[in-house]
Amino acid sequence: MQWAEHCVRHAEAYFRLLCSVSDPSELRLTAVDEVIFDKFLEMFGDIPLDVISEDSLKSGAIKSTSLPKYYVPYINKVCKWRIYCNEFEGKVEDFNLGTLFRLDASKGYCPENTCIVPRIQFLALETARNRLGINKPENLRQLHE
């Protein structure tokens, strides 16, 4: 239960922070934001960041070696996320800690717009949204009030 409370407090704090800045591209979430962002662009530069499906974020074991070819892009994405996340072990504190993530950048935290991801995945996606101007504090402030 403490873990869930921690997730909610973190989400609330991040959303308040996001709503309080005028330019999210200047926001720094860790000491290694540049590395997180650069590696994210290198590996996932094609991901649409405004609305992200939960399925595209989840890792899982591949249960069959004889999967149809149309599964290959999805499997590659899952494997790439696992590789990406593990690169930050020992570099980002609590890199694998469950963190609430907003699927649609134009909306706030609510059950239908939230999923749990590893902290490093949250940091990568939100840093990219901030740097690329997808998070719009002026719009999010209206949701927060």
pLDDT for the residue 141: 81
Average pLDDT over residues 86-98: 94
Average pLDDT over residues 14-33: 94
Model confidence pLDDT, tens digit, residues 31-47: 999 999 999 999 988 88
Model confidence pLDDT, tens digit, residues 64-73: 444 455 555 5
Angle at 8 between CA 6 and CA 10, to 5 degrees: 70
Side chain identity at residue 133, one-letter code: G
- How many residues would you count in the chain? 145
Average pLDDT over residues 74-81: 68
Domain that holds residue 121: 2-144
pLDDT for the residue 69: 57
Taking every pair of Cα atoms in the chain, the longest distance, rounded to a whole number of angstroms, is 51
pTM summary value: 0.85
Q: Are 30 and 97 in contact (CB under 8 A)?
A: no
Angle at 80 between CA 13 and CA 48, to 5 degrees: 60
Residue 130's closest CA among 34, 64, 53, 11?
A: 34
Question: For residue 91, what is the domain's CATH number?
Answer: 1.10.3560.10
For the ranges 6-10, 26-30, 101-105, 125-129, the lowest mean pLDDT is seen at: 6-10
User: How many distinct structural domains can be found in the chain?
Assistant: 1
Please compute, for residue 82, the number of CA atoms within 13 A of its CA located in the half-sphere on the CB side: 11
